[in-house]
C-alpha cells in the first residue's frame, strides 16, 4: 500500500486552529506586501487628505470629525482606497455618501497639494473604517 501523500500528512498534522492561524498569517503577508513607493504615496495621500478633512469637513458634514485612518495604493499608483473614521457614528452612510458625491472635488484639491510629488493623482474610493466600533463591541461582550 505505501504511506499517504505528504499533503495528507500535513492535513493531519495541522489541526483546524493551527491551520486557520497559519492561513491568516499568509493572508496578512500577501495583503501587506507593498512596495516602498506605494507606502510613500499612501502616507502622502493620507497626510494631505487628513489636512483637507480637518479644514474642509465643516462643509461636507458639519459637527463631525472625519479622520483618515488607512490609505492603500494599487501597485500602479492609480487607485487609492481611503478608510475613514467618522465621529459621532450616527448616520455614517449619509456622511459617506456626501463624501462620495464630492469625490471629484476632493481629488482636485488633493491634486493641487501633491502635484509636484506625483505625476498622476490616484482615483479615490472611500470606505468606512469601523474597527473602533468593532473594538467597542468586543469590550462590551467581554464585560458581560
Do 98 and 29 lie in one domain? The reply is no
Does residue 114 sit in the same domain as residue 56? Answer: yes
Where does the pLDDT of residue 138 fall: very low under 50, low under 70, confident under 90, or very high at 90 and above?
confident
Q: What is the pLDDT of residues 23-67, one digit of tens each?
A: 555 555 555 578 899 999 999 999 999 999 998 767 788 888 899
Alpha helices in 79-130 (DSSP H): 92-101, 103-114
- What range does the domain containing 127 cover? 36-143
Residue 76 sits in the same domain as residue 126: yes
Please tell me whether residues 17 and 70 are part of one structural domain: no
CA distance 62 to 8: 59
For residues 118 and 112, what is the distance between their CA atoms, to the nearest angstrom?
11
Domain match, 49 and 117 both: yes
Do 14 and 47 lie in a common domain?
A: no
Q: What is the pTM of this model?
A: 0.71
Judge if 8 and 66 occupy the same domain. Answer: no
> Which residues of the chain form beta strands (DSSP E)?
65-73, 79-87, 123-128
Please name the residues in contact with 23: beta carbons below 8 A apart, sequence gap of 6 or more. none
Amino acid at each position: 500500500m505505501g504511506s499517504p501523500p505528504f499533503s495528507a500528512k500535513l492535513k493531519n498534522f495541522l489541526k483546524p486552529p493551527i491551520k486557520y492561524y497559519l492561513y491568516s498569517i499568509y493572508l496578512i503577508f500577501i495583503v501587506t506586501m507593498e512596495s516602498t513607493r506605494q507606502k510613500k504615496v499612501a502616507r502622502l495621500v493620507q497626510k494631505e487628505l487628513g489636512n483637507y478633512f480637518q479644514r474642509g469637513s465643516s462643509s461636507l458634514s458639519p459637527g463631525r470629525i472625519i479622520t483618515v485612518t488607512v490609505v492603500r495604493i494599487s501597485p500602479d499608483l492609480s487607485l487609492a482606497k481611503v478608510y475613514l473614521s467618522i465621529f459621532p457614528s450616527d448616520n455614517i452612510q449619509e456622511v459617506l455618501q456626501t463624501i462620495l458625491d464630492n469625490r471629484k472635488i476632493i481629488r482636485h484639491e488633493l491634486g493641487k497639494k501633491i502635484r509636484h510629488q506625483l505625476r498622476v493623482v490616484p482615483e479615490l474610493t472611500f470606505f468606512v473604517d469601523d474597527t473602533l466600533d468593532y473594538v467597542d463591541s468586543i469590550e462590551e461582550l467581554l464585560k458581560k
